[in-house]
Each structure stands twice: as C-alpha cells, then as structure tokens.
Structure 1
C-alpha cells in the first residue's frame, strides 16, 4: 500500500536516482529538489536514471524562496535529505561552499517546514566521515580516540596508531571529524535532532560508508575512488595506491544503500541513534584495486606511499543496528559490486580517461 508524499533533496544525484524506483513504487507522490550542479550534472538535464514517476524541481536548497515555492505545492509526509557537498579534500579549499549547502541548506529546510507544515519523518543521509579516525582498542581492551595524523607521523611511514581499529558503530564509537566536510555533516545531524525533538518530527540518520556502483559520476574528481580505479585500469594504466595499500574501507554498493534509505523512510520506528550502513565487512584499498585490475586485465596496483590530507586510516561499519532496527542487511559482495560497476562503465558512450 502506497503511503503519501515524499520529498527528496538532492534527488537527481547518484543516490537519489538509484532510490527513485523504490520510492515511486512506495509513495503516492515523489518530488525531487535538485540544483543540477554542473560538477555532477554536466549537461544540467534531467538524468535518464531518475524514475519517470518522479517530479523534478530544479532549485537550490540554500534559498528560502525556492523552499516556499516547492512547499506551496508539496506537503511531504517524509523528507529524504540527500542534498550536500561531499568532497572531503575539496572542503578544505571550499569551506564556505560546504558550509552553505550542508549547514545553511539544512536550516533553510527546517525553517521552510516550520512555515508550511511539518512532515512525519526526515531521513538524513550522513557519512562515516563524522567519525574521523574512529576508535581504536588498546591491548588492555579499552577504547581511545587517536588525534588527526600529523605530517611527521606520515613522513616517517607510521600509518597506524597503537592497538587495533574497531568498526564504526554509533552506539559505541563517538564522532570526531577531521575534515570540514565531516564537521558539516555532523552539524546536519545535530541540527535535525534537536529541531525534530522539539517539534515532534521523527529523525532517522543513516551514516553511509563508501558508496559506489552504476550511475556514479565518471567526471567528478571528488567522489568515487572505485570508478577512478576502473577508468585507470580500463586504459591499461597501473592503479596507484596511497600509503601502504593496507588502508581499510567499507565499499557498499549503491543498490544496498538505496534499500537502506528506503527502509529508514518506511520503518515503523526509528532510532534516536544514527544507524551505520555498509557492506558488512572491510576491504583493503589494495584488494579493491586488484579486483578492478583483474576485471580489465590491467597491471597489478602499485603502492606509492603518498598521502592525501584529510584521509583517515581505516573505516568500516558494524551493520548490526541496521539489521535490528530497519530489518536491512547488505546483499552484495565487493566482487559482485565491482563487476556491476565495471559492466555499467562499459555500457557508457563517453567514458573520460583517467
């Protein structure tokens, strides 16, 4: 049985397009608000991957007049807030842009809903970046939070901290951002939680690990490490690996992310604690790159020892809470996901060289 109206901010982006078929099947009305930013949408046209049943409104979430225009016609029961600037490295040089879209865009959403009518629930797409380096476990079993890695530490080839890293789980691990992007995403969480608690709006927060898969931008230099690896391998180039190649990441296929967000929108109850969404296991960067190189018959990846400012050492999710609260579990392995990504890339008419 369909349930009311859903409004999706950033709804024409990578995740929004993947989510759109499920939303059309679930809700009576689906409206996407998106500014079609040229960094993501080179032609500024409606994406072919956006389900035909979605009403697309082109507008900027940072502008109050846009919100007033949209909400004069749309009375959402559920809002899925995807709109965000997402480049970790880019946020260091374009901090105002990230603050404007991620923070002010969220407060404009809140104020506009106050003016026009409150939804039942807001689902926020947050990020594993809010954890920073996350928590590490000492030999005695206690947890500690390491500081941001220093230049001296990196130059000396000391990639890891003392002890062992632990999986990211909002019930156990506290946020500790180490990038401007991460700080703005955590601010989104805080803003919506206090606002929702005061006004009786349910707030569901999903913290996503590294999302990849068919439909991801092949031209945006700030997102999609696996799509970049694929473009390199496709051209017969050697994939360069930063640090020692042993960086752990949780690569979660877009199909699994879409089903998780839909579950957060439709579940009978939501948690006051953010829910971590990932593949259920970690992979090293070297393992992921090797899978892609094997698909294309490219040379084995090469460890470079380079380091990108703002990167954390290890990150992966404990998805137990997602299973218990949302009834959701990931369905795709890295090998399956890499095959789906690369098969899709091979179907694209204009794949930019890496």
Structure 2
C-alpha cells in the first residue's frame, strides 16, 4: 500500500465533537501536529471532559470560536497547513428560537477565525468546511406537467397546519451542489451558507485552497446521546431501546439521506488528499445517495429492538424541509470516494454502541 503524504500541522475547530473525533482516529497520525479548538459545550460534552474517542495525538485547547483572545491563544501553536472548520451550532429547529446564538457561532465565529489568521500573519494552505444539506432548503422540484425544474420555496406554517405536505403536481429532485441554487429555509441553513460565502471570499484573496463538504444527516457511534438536536436516529434509538413507540411527523414520508460517520470521515480524507488544482473552490455532496423516509428509519430501529411499530401523528416542525437527499455521483467521480455503509447495517452498529453507553436524553 502506498504511504499517504503528511498533512503538516492541522487545526480542527469543533474537533472534539462527533465528526472531529472520528476524523482524528482516521488521519491524525498523518499530521505533524493535530490541534483541536473546542468549547466543550455542555449540550454535547457533559462535564466538559475530553472525549475518549479523540485521538491521543490531539492537543485539545478549550476555547470559543467567537472570542478573539481564544483564537490568539490557539494560533500560538501555528502556523497551520490545514484547517478543518467543524465548529458550528447545528440544531435546525433550535435555530428558529436561538437565531442570535447560531449566527454568533456559525457566522461571527468564522469571521473571527479569518481575522485571527490575518492578525497572526498565518495563511493556511487549505481550509475544509463541514457544510450542510440545510443550505438547499426545499431544493429543486420537477413539474409533472412539462418536466421543468423549479424552486417552490419554503412550506409556510399555514400549509403545514393544513397538512399540505408536498407541492402539488411536482416531484422532488436529489440535491447536487453544481446544479442546485442554495435556498435555505431555516436560520441554521442560512448561517451555514454564510460560512461558505465568507470562506470562499477570504480564501480567494489569500491563495488558500477551500473545499466544502455539504453533509447530509450524519449518524453513528460517537454521536451525542444527550443532545436532542443532533439527529432523530439517536433519539429514535433511545425510545425503541426502552420499548417506546416512535412518533413520526407529518405523514411519515419526510425523506432524508442518512450517512454513516465512517463514510463522512473518509469523505473528509478524500477531499483533504485531493489535488488543489482540481478541487479548489468546489463544493461536494456527502451522503448515502439514497433517500430514506422517516417512517422507514423508524421501522428499522423499532424492528431491531422488538419495539412497537412506529405511529404517524401528523405533527410538524416549522422550517423543516419535506425531502432531502443527495446526488453523490460528482463527489464519487472527482474525489474517488463512495459510502460503504447502508442504512440497515449502520443502524445496527449504532444500536450496539448505544447499548454500552451510560448517558441518555430519554
């Protein structure tokens, strides 16, 4: 096997989290130094402890991306060749009620990072951003009458209250970064799109390579079991584990693309190892490439535990999109990456991991 090149010195913001810890286990050994900046937020890290899954080589610096002083402390450990920007508030529903918090961390936190690089005179060779499928909003739909694509925009509260789940006479289209116009329908999605624009603008003026991975719904061992905003797979798993019937919103046909954590980590490795001349400034979709309804994922989890079958309750969340899954063909073609885990296998692995954990949100 050909030995992969050294990554140089690496900085990972939010690097003590779910994705950061998994990535550290995969490639930290290839770095000349793996520095993690993380606030150890209690919503994710109870007790402010260093996560056991974080690679032993990682130097953890507790700091908040919105504080210039914390950035100055972190950059004393630089300069950095590679920056992986994971730090973000991630709750789609939570962002509607805590818009300022999401904007401070996701938008101002990113600008504080860029300002800190400027103050320190440190220009990283490459920045990789963990983007989000939330930037697509409802995305593209196709008219059944004439086959043309259009962007229907946000489903209003009135539509949802009237149980008008879909857009009549139209079918959803899988998201693809080079074909879709981003139209976020949540505060969270809007802040993630702002991150993309800020990094691209700054990097273009500093000859820094920037890559963006728009992640679909990431799940798997290592995700927070106490943060109800980090994904329904974890929440559904904990409900089924205790024999509770899973309630499914709308009519059960909300669609998501569930991508296993190991596949996300290998996607980051693939873009980090990619040729800057080919991938600079590019955005890639990272998902399983398959749409799974919320009812289907609930069924798989309930079956694993022998729990009651899920029930559709007709409830809804404002700002939620109806269908979201990715066309990953371009990512596979350019980066040579493809997911290895299907949903049923990944769900089983997650249940096995959860069984050995003490903390729960339910």
What TM-score results when the alignment is normalised by the length of structure 2? Answer: 0.95
Aligned pair partner of 1:302 in 303, 306, 311: 311
The yes-or-no answer on 1:138 pairing with 2:143 is yes
C-alpha displacement at 1:70, in angstroms?
1.3
Partner of 2:28: 24
Aligned pair partner of 2:295 in 286, 298, 307: 286
8 Å CA contact retained: 2:21, 2:53 = yes
The yes-or-no answer on 1:33 pairing with 2:40 is no
Aligned pair partner of 1:223 in 225, 230, 248: 230
C-alpha displacement at 1:271, in angstroms?
4.4
1:117-196 alignment to 2 at 5 Å? 117-139=122-144, 140-162=146-168, 163-196=170-203
Q: Matched residue of 1:223: which SS? A: coil
Q: Matched residue of 1:40: which SS? A: coil
Alpha-carbon distance in 2 for matches of 1:115, 1:141 = 52
Aligned pair partner of 2:337 in 320, 323, 328: 328
C-alpha displacement at 1:322, in angstroms?
1.2
Alpha-carbon distance in 2 for matches of 1:131, 1:254 = 21
Range that drifts further, 100-109 or 264-273:
264-273
8 Å CA contact retained: 1:193, 1:203 = yes
Aligned pair partner of 2:251 in 244, 249, 255: 244
Q: What are structure 2's unaligned runs of at least 5 residues?
A: none
Aligned pair partner of 1:49 in 53, 71, 74: 53
C-alpha displacement at 1:274, in angstroms?
1.2
Any idea what the Cα deviations from partners look like across 1:71-103, whole Å, max 9, x if unmatched? Answer: 122211010000000011111111111111000
Partner of 1:211: 218
> Would you identify which runs of 4 or more consecutive aligned residues in structure 1 move more than 2 Å?
351-354
C-alpha displacement at 1:353, in angstroms?
5.7
Alpha-carbon distance in 1 for matches of 2:280, 2:47 = 39
Q: Matched residue of 1:85: which SS? A: coil
Q: Matched residue of 1:186: which SS? A: helix
Alpha-carbon distance in 2 for matches of 1:3, 1:303 = 48
Alpha-carbon distance in 1 for matches of 2:82, 2:282 = 19
Q: Matched residue of 2:195: which SS? A: helix
C-alpha displacement at 1:325, in angstroms?
1.9
Alpha-carbon distance in 2 for matches of 1:251, 1:297 = 22
Alpha-carbon distance in 1 for matches of 2:314, 2:56 = 46
Q: What are structure 1's unaligned runs of at least 5 residues?
A: none
Count of aligned residue pairs for this structure pair: 353
Alpha-carbon distance in 2 for matches of 1:345, 1:127 = 25
Give the direction of change, closer, same or farther, for the CA distance of 1:243–1:340 in structure 2 (3 Å limit).
Answer: same
Q: Matched residue of 2:239: which SS? A: helix
Alpha-carbon distance in 2 for matches of 1:155, 1:94 = 23
Alpha-carbon distance in 2 for matches of 1:151, 1:55 = 46
C-alpha displacement at 1:61, in angstroms?
0.9
Alpha-carbon distance in 2 for matches of 1:9, 1:111 = 15
8 Å CA contact retained: 2:137, 2:189 = yes
Q: Matched residue of 1:252: which SS? A: strand
Supply the RMSD in Å over aligned alpha carbons.
1.1
Give the direction of change, closer, same or farther, for the CA distance of 1:53–1:91 in structure 2 (3 Å limit).
Answer: same
